[in-house]
């Protein structure tokens, strides 16, 4: 069922037929909820989860369900490719230019610069030559990038073999400035 939903979402996103149900999102609450959902997977893998959220972060105008899916995909991948004793960190803050930035960084196996475009291609699973028996649809990263772009954002990935991977989502100032959540 997950595969079918991801294929349908990817198809709709690629054809411009995916509608976003926008609302003001508390980014910290969304990150906390996503981390909670991935905690059992992280505990089983012996990987620690860490949150670093900038105080007073503005709300983000976007589709909460779609952006939570993006975070869950990124967190799940980060945990999956991080060895026991490693760490996955979710951070969120504002840039000097006013963009809202959300990052998922891990201390995992990483990949080469040449592998990144392949990892971003639909249905591609990289050979990790680490004896890992990992399953997935090969749609998580491409779908995460597409959902970020539908929100007017940029999806950036950096990675170093043996040192980990960082995915950063950058959303335009207009999405972070529409309103601030009040306590």
H helices of the chain, in order, are 2-15, 27-45, 64-80, 115-119, 140-150, 173-177
The tens place of each residue's pLDDT in the chain, 183 residues long, gives: 454 555 555 555 566 666 789 999 999 999 999 999 999 999 999 999 999 999 989 999 999 999 999 999 999 999 999 999 999 999 999 999 999 999 999 999 999 998 888 888 876 666 554 444 455 566 789 889 999 999 999 999 999 999 999 999 999 999 986 545 544
In this structure, the number of other CB atoms found within 10 A of the CB of residue 24 comes to: 15
Alpha carbons 43 and 105: distance in angstroms, whole number: 17
Q: Please say whether the beta carbons of 74 and 37 come within 8 A.
A: no
Alpha carbons 31 and 48: distance in angstroms, whole number: 15
pLDDT at 30: 97
Global pTM reads 0.85
pLDDT at 121: 81
Alpha carbons 30 and 26: distance in angstroms, whole number: 6
* Residue 81, burial from CB neighbour count under 10 angstroms (0-12, 13-18, 19+): buried
């Amino acid at each position: 069922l997950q595969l079918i939903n991801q294929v349908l979402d990817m198809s709709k996103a690629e054809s411009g037929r995916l509608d976003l149900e926008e609302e003001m999102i508390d980014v910290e609450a969304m990150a906390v909820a996503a981390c909670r959902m991935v905690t059992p997977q992280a505990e089983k893998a012996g990987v620690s989860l860490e949150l670093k959220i900038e105080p007073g972060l503005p709300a983000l105008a976007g589709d909460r369900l779609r952006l939570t899916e993006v975070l869950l995909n990124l967190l799940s991948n980060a945990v999956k490719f991080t060895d026991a004793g490693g760490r996955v960190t979710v951070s969120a803050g504002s840039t000097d230019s006013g963009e809202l930035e959300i990052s998922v960084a891990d201390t995992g196996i990483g990949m080469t610069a040449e592998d990144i475009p392949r990892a971003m291609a639909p249905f591609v699973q990289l050979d990790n030559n680490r004896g890992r028996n990992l399953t997935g649809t090969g749609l998580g990263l491409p779908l995460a990038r597409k959902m970020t772009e539908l929100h007017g954002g940029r999806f950036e990935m950096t990675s170093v073999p043996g040192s980990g991977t960082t995915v950063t989502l950058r959303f335009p100032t207009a999405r972070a400035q529409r309103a601030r959540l009040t306590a």
